Amino acid sequence: MKFHPLAQAVVAVMLLSLPAAAADVGQPAPDFTLKDETGVAHSLGDYRGKVVVLEWTNPECPFVQRHYSEKTMQKTLAAYAGKPVVWLVVDSSYFTTPEKSAAWKKSQGFTPPVLQDPSGTVGHAYAAKTTPEMYVIDTQGVLRYAGAIDDDPRGRSASVNYVRQAVDALQSGRTVPVTSSPPYGCSVKYKGNT
Amino acid sequence: MLQQMPLEAISPAVRPHPSFLRFLALLLGAGLPGAAAAASSATGAVQDGVPRLEATLLSGARVLGPGDTFRVGVRLQMAPGWHVYWRNPGEAGMASEVRFSAPGLAFEALAWPALQVLRSPDGSIVTYGYADEVVLFAPAKAVSLSGQRVRLSAVADVLVCAVECIPAVLPLERELAVGTRMVEDVEAKALLDVAAAQVPWPQARAGLTLSLTAPLTLRAGTAFVADVLATGPDNAPVALRALDAFIPDRLPAVSEVTGASVPGQGNHVLLRGKLLPEAPSGPLVLHGLLFLQAPAKHAVEVEVPLGSVVPKTPVAAPGPVLGLGWALLFAFLGGLLLNLMPCVFPVLALKAYGFVHTLQVGGRRTSAHALAYAVGILASMLALACGVLLLRALGHSVGWGFQFQQPLFVAALAALLVAFALNLFGVFRVGPAGTGLLGKVEGAHGAWRSAGEGVLAVVLATPCTAPLLGTAVGFAFAAPPWVVVCVFLLVGVGLALPFCLLVLVPHLSRLLPRPGAWMERGRQLLGFALLGTAVWLGSVLGALAGVDALVRLLGFLLVLGAACWVVGSFQDSRRPRLALGAALLLLLLGGALTLRFEAVHPSASASAWAPDVVAAELRAGRPVFVDFTADWCLTCKFNERTVLSRPTVQQALAATSTRYLVADWTRPDARIAAELASRQRAGVPMYLLFSPYRPESPEVLPELLSESRVVEALHRAASQLSAGLSPATFSGEKTRP
């Protein structure tokens, strides 16, 4: 089948103007249902009406280890005790198991459920690339922040905790001042990358 | 080299847990007990006792004289398979950092040799860095030397990754002699010269001019695609690398920037990215590297001015900004304004018309009708609020007008409107003989009818947002239940108020036109307004469930029209009930035949693509055809209709026992995007045909398919010999990179 060059050019232009992929700030966050390390299923939809923080993690990543030993995540979560804020940890490493997550949770002494995503489906839906990588979702299920926990890749002194900034803004009805920051850390160890 | 380095002093007997060791490394820099005295080289990023990184401090000069300029650098050598990162690490990792210090020496900014693009094996994560080895260096100048020796120090703070990542902070140190004139360190200078030759050229040196082929609208919070033309000095032709032609620096307020050259036009680069909602207004300049293939193969440090960012379009303010009081006020005003919106207007016009007629007939019970109308509105608003609360409690996401997501609801409403219109046209009457529609206003039935009109007004109002209403309802949806109920009821009050005022304030009713002969025409005209609303509902249904569903709806409306006609024709006969029964039967039959709305699946037999499915099928000896497609891709649909679904192609698929897989890119999918990128494609369609005999090199079919081309390719894929390669010769080829 021969096609006129003009027709080919039109098709080419159509193909080039494709929408970009990824979970976009300002758009509804992809819904999911995942089991945590105790086998309890969590859906994003369960938490409508609350601010949801998603934390992509991998206990073997030194950046995650640093933030837990410095209690960055624990302190951020503690600031919202008694408030309608839900914190879900997601592990999309192909090697994650409920047992490993439970042991790590115990050793670090933190409470949020660790959702098991060894297939990487939810990680890919959010286009999560690093650990730790953070997402903040508002009470209506709209993604409001995606990126790093803070602006301090080297653990010297963070000048801003982006997640706190975003959750505080949502709690007081303000616009989130910074909606995205370049995440830093290890790459997510997705299935197929061994 | 690396293997010969002395290992750190780790006692095997008390070897700490590797993760603890890594943590220690993080805290202590080199992370090793004996790291206090820095030497000119050090090792780090230790995994299972083996260092993955060796860093060496280089100085282009061994002896310095006053005012001398030379280079200092740190050579980073990684174990095979390990890498460190560029100044923009990309989608993961951490930028490398090297700092120099020495008394009496001044250092310029760190120079970065051209980076390598590093992709994770599944292609989903793209980072920028250096594998094997890199020298990061800085030009230095002796500004004020004193004494016999200068102590040159450096700290390399890097993240070293393979699959795992290990941070390393290595302090390095060496002494340089002070003399009258410079003596070069030949070995170090050779390494530094090689690195310097790899540093991207400044744009001016390359003589490169970059210009946008069309002006861009850069709106905060939106994506952009810029087509940039590169021209060499004196308009010399320029060719860019196809993939990763542009590698961005990190910029605040911009994310996901990529740049690939335009296929067939090697001097164009398409820069894509997203402006964050908070991107400040003003000029936007992208910084980064452009990779040239011709006239010479080198990278150029460029600045691409893209234009001026304009602020985000002011959308309705986010709900929670409102106080409760404002939300309630907005709900009321929004309800008032709804009266003017096109979806409610026909009902209101009808109501006003009925009211005029009531005045004509007598006008005694007008207030009762107004009350019934208001009650109808408020009751349905309350029902709607309860529905919203119930669905919210069940964890569903609902919005204003959520019921319009159900095709059956939309169809039923369209049918109701058409029946209403036919009634107005006089095709049939509602109620006992001789009175007709208008006569009913007088009777007890009239109050019910008014209430029903209130319900209809609400139902039709929901997909229409009026100014202010979206804000109020948005507020309600995130608020506690009683607020939801209050906001919805106030919208109802606003919706009901104008008509009630018209009725209850005598002075106002005089403004209405006097009843007269025009009313018969007016009634029929209103019927057309209702049909217009039904047409709009048809478009809603079409968008929800496709053309097929729209045709089914039209079929049902036809049956409905016939049923109404039957009722009307025999209404004054002796057996109107029989006619009514027949009409109902007709409706039931018609409904059962037509009112089935399903989501359309493009090809039911095809299953979803996944790399491991492809691998499994190939291992089983079957060819695999992968159709990368999307609903919005016209070319894909064209190919599916005119080629892939044809009997010849289907037969060839069956005859070659080829597995047909669909990679649907209608919704964003990182794996599909990565697969497309790895084949240097910007989008769909893409057709890959894997042969079990040549699993590593699938045939890529053209974007516009033909039956004969596909059938030939299928037979080729199923044949062991057609490409002149047997599995044995191929497996030899596989081991090559």
Q: What is the pLDDT of residues B651-679, one digit of tens each?
A: 889 888 898 998 877 655 667 777 776 66
Q: What is the 3 state secondary structure string of chain A?
A: CCCCHHHHHHHHHHHHCCCCCCCCCCCECCCCEEECCCCCEEEHHHHCCCEEEEEECCCCCHHHHHHHHCCHHHHHHHCCCCCCEEEEEEECCCCCCHHHHHHHHHHHCCCCCEEECCCCHHHHHCCCCEECEEEEECCCCEEEEEECCECCCCCCCCCCEHHHHHHHHHHCCCCCCCCECCCCEEECCCCCCC
* Average pLDDT for chain B: 78
Contact check, Cβ <8 Å, B19/A65: yes
The C-alpha of A78 sits at a distance from chain B's nearest C-alpha, in angstroms, of: 24
CB B44 within 8 A of CB B53: yes
**Contacts for B302 with CB less than 8 Å, ≥ 6 apart:** B203, B208, B210, B246, B287, B288, B289, B290
Instruction: Identify which of B395, B410, B403, B384 has the alpha carbon closest to the alpha carbon of residue B476.
Output: B384
The C-alpha of A179 sits at a distance from chain B's nearest C-alpha, in angstroms, of: 7
Report the pLDDT value the prediction gives residue B598, as an integer from 0 to 100.
Answer: 63
The C-alpha of A14 sits at a distance from chain B's nearest C-alpha, in angstroms, of: 8
Report strand pairing: B126-131 vs B282-294: unpaired
Report the pLDDT value the prediction gives residue B234, as an integer from 0 to 100.
Answer: 84
Most confident of B458-462, B537-541, B695-699: B695-699
Partner residue opposite A179 with nearest CB, options B276, B392, B477: B276
Record the tokens describing residue B63, joined without a space: 């002896």
Return phi, psi of residue B160, to 5°.
Answer: -110, 125
Does B315 have pLDDT greater than 50?
A: no
Q: At what angle do helices B407-425 and B518-569 cross, to 10 degrees?
A: 110
Contact check, Cβ <8 Å, B611/A192: yes
Chain A residue with Cα closest to B249: A182
Residue B392: band (very low, low, confident or very high) from pLDDT cuts 50, 70, 90: low
Task: Give the helix/strand (H/E) hosting B150.
Answer: strand B149-161
Report the pLDDT value the prediction gives residue B556, as an integer from 0 to 100.
Answer: 92
Q: What percent of chain B has pLDDT over 70?
A: 75
Contact check, Cβ <8 Å, A63/B682: no
> Residues B160-210: pLDDT tens digits?
999 889 999 999 999 999 998 899 999 999 999 999 999 999 998 888 988
Contact check, Cβ <8 Å, B682/A18: yes
Residue B341: band (very low, low, confident or very high) from pLDDT cuts 50, 70, 90: low
Report the pLDDT value the prediction gives residue B579, as an integer from 0 to 100.
Answer: 82
Report the pLDDT value the prediction gives residue B24, as an integer from 0 to 100.
Answer: 44
Report strand pairing: B299-310 vs B607-608: unpaired
Partner residue opposite B274 with nearest CB, options A20, A66, A182: A20
Contact check, Cβ <8 Å, B478/A140: yes
The C-alpha of A86 sits at a distance from chain B's nearest C-alpha, in angstroms, of: 15
Of the CA atoms within 13 Å of residue B37, those in its CB half-sphere come to 1
The C-alpha of B251 sits at a distance from chain A's nearest C-alpha, in angstroms, of: 9
Contact check, Cβ <8 Å, B683/A193: no
The C-alpha of A39 sits at a distance from chain B's nearest C-alpha, in angstroms, of: 20
Does A75 have pLDDT greater than 70?
A: yes
Name the least confident of A81-90, B113-122, B337-346, B526-535: B337-346
Mutation target among A17, A58, A130 for the B interface, most CBs of B within 10 A = A130
Sign of CA dihedral B564, B569, B571, B576: negative
Mean pLDDT, range B207-225, rounded to an integer: 84
> Residues B22-73: pLDDT tens digits?
444 444 444 343 344 568 899 988 888 899 999 999 999 999 999 999 999 9
Partner residue opposite A130 with nearest CB, options B92, B320, B682: B92
CB A186 within 8 A of CB A123: no
Partner residue opposite B122 with nearest CB, options A24, A155, A193: A193
Report the pLDDT value the prediction gives residue B463, as an integer from 0 to 100.
Answer: 55
Note the helical H segments in B130-253. Answer: 186-198, 203-206
Q: Which residue has the tokens 């084949």?
A: B679
Mutation target among A3, A13, A18, A60 for the B interface, most CBs of B within 10 A = A18
Residue B478: band (very low, low, confident or very high) from pLDDT cuts 50, 70, 90: low
Mutation target among A8, A10, A15, A86 for the B interface, most CBs of B within 10 A = A15
Does B96 have pLDDT greater than 60?
A: yes
Does B88 have pLDDT greater than 90?
A: yes
Could you give the ipTM of this predicted complex? 0.82
Contact check, Cβ <8 Å, A190/B120: yes
Report the pLDDT value the prediction gives residue B677, as an integer from 0 to 100.
Answer: 63
Partner residue opposite B26 with nearest CB, options A22, A66, A191: A66
Contact check, Cβ <8 Å, A19/B392: no
In this predicted model, which residue has the larger pLDDT, B404 or B497? B497
Contact check, Cβ <8 Å, B255/A182: yes
The C-alpha of A174 sits at a distance from chain B's nearest C-alpha, in angstroms, of: 7
Return phi, psi of residue B582, to 5°.
Answer: -60, -40
Mutation target among B82, B118, B276 for the A interface, most CBs of A within 10 A = B276
In this predicted model, which residue has the larger pLDDT, B384 or B18? B384
Chain B residue with Cα closest to A186: B93
Contact check, Cβ <8 Å, A187/B221: no
Partner residue opposite B703 with nearest CB, options A11, A60, A193: A11
The β-bridge partners of B290 are B246, B300
> Residues B44-57: pLDDT tens digits?
888 888 999 999 99
Residue B689: band (very low, low, confident or very high) from pLDDT cuts 50, 70, 90: very high
CB A66 within 8 A of CB A148: no
Chain A residue with Cα closest to B611: A192
CA distance B621 to B691: 8
CA distance B504 to B510: 12
In this predicted model, which residue has the larger pLDDT, B236 or B118? B118
> Residues B231-276: pLDDT tens digits?
888 888 889 988 889 999 988 888 888 888 887 788 888 898 888 8
Record the tokens describing residue B424, joined without a space: 């107005």
> Residues A9-60: pLDDT tens digits?
444 333 333 333 356 888 889 989 999 999 999 999 889 889 999 999 999 9
Q: Which chain B residues have a beta carbon less than 8 Å from that of A9? A: none
Contact check, Cβ <8 Å, A15/B477: no
Residue B528: band (very low, low, confident or very high) from pLDDT cuts 50, 70, 90: confident
Chain A residue with Cα closest to B261: A16
Partner residue opposite A193 with nearest CB, options B121, B277, B705: B121
Contact check, Cβ <8 Å, B635/A14: yes
Does B602 have pLDDT greater than 60?
A: no
Residue type, B161: C
Contact check, Cβ <8 Å, B478/A49: yes
Contact check, Cβ <8 Å, A185/B94: yes
Of the CA atoms within 13 Å of residue A129, those in its CB half-sphere come to 25
CA distance B414 to A56: 47
Question: Which DSSP letter does residue B37 get?
Answer: S
Does B150 have pLDDT greater than 60?
A: yes
**What does each C-alpha distance from A47 to A36, A87, B41, B402 come to in angstroms?**
15, 10, 53, 19
Mutation target among A187, A189, A191, A193 for the B interface, most CBs of B within 10 A = A187
Instruction: Identify which of A95, A26, A19, A25 has the alpha carbon closest to the alpha carbon of residue A60.
Output: A95
Q: Which chain B residues have a beta carbon less than 8 Å from that of A130? A: 91-93
Contact check, Cβ <8 Å, B682/A16: yes
**Contacts for B599 with CB less than 8 Å, ≥ 6 apart:** B545
Q: What is the 3 state secondary structure string of B281-298?
A: CEEEEEEEEEEEEECCCC
Partner residue opposite A129 with nearest CB, options B91, B250, B703: B91
User: In the A/B pair of chains, how many CB contacts fall below 8 A?
Assistant: 163
Residue B404: band (very low, low, confident or very high) from pLDDT cuts 50, 70, 90: low
CB A190 within 8 A of CB A124: yes
Instruction: Identify which of B674, B693, B696 has the alpha carbon closest to the alpha carbon of residue B609.
Output: B674
* Average pLDDT for chain A: 86
CB B278 within 8 A of CB B252: no
Most confident of A100-109, B206-215, B456-465, B710-719: A100-109
Q: Which chain B residues have a beta carbon less than 8 Å from that of A156? A: none
CA distance B291 to B242: 9
CA distance B387 to B398: 10
The C-alpha of A46 sits at a distance from chain B's nearest C-alpha, in angstroms, of: 5
Mutation target among A10, A42, A150, A186 for the B interface, most CBs of B within 10 A = A186
CA distance B60 to A31: 57
The β-bridge partners of A85 are A51
Most confident of A52-61, B333-342, B571-580, B712-721: A52-61
Partner residue opposite A21 with nearest CB, options B122, B633, B673: B673
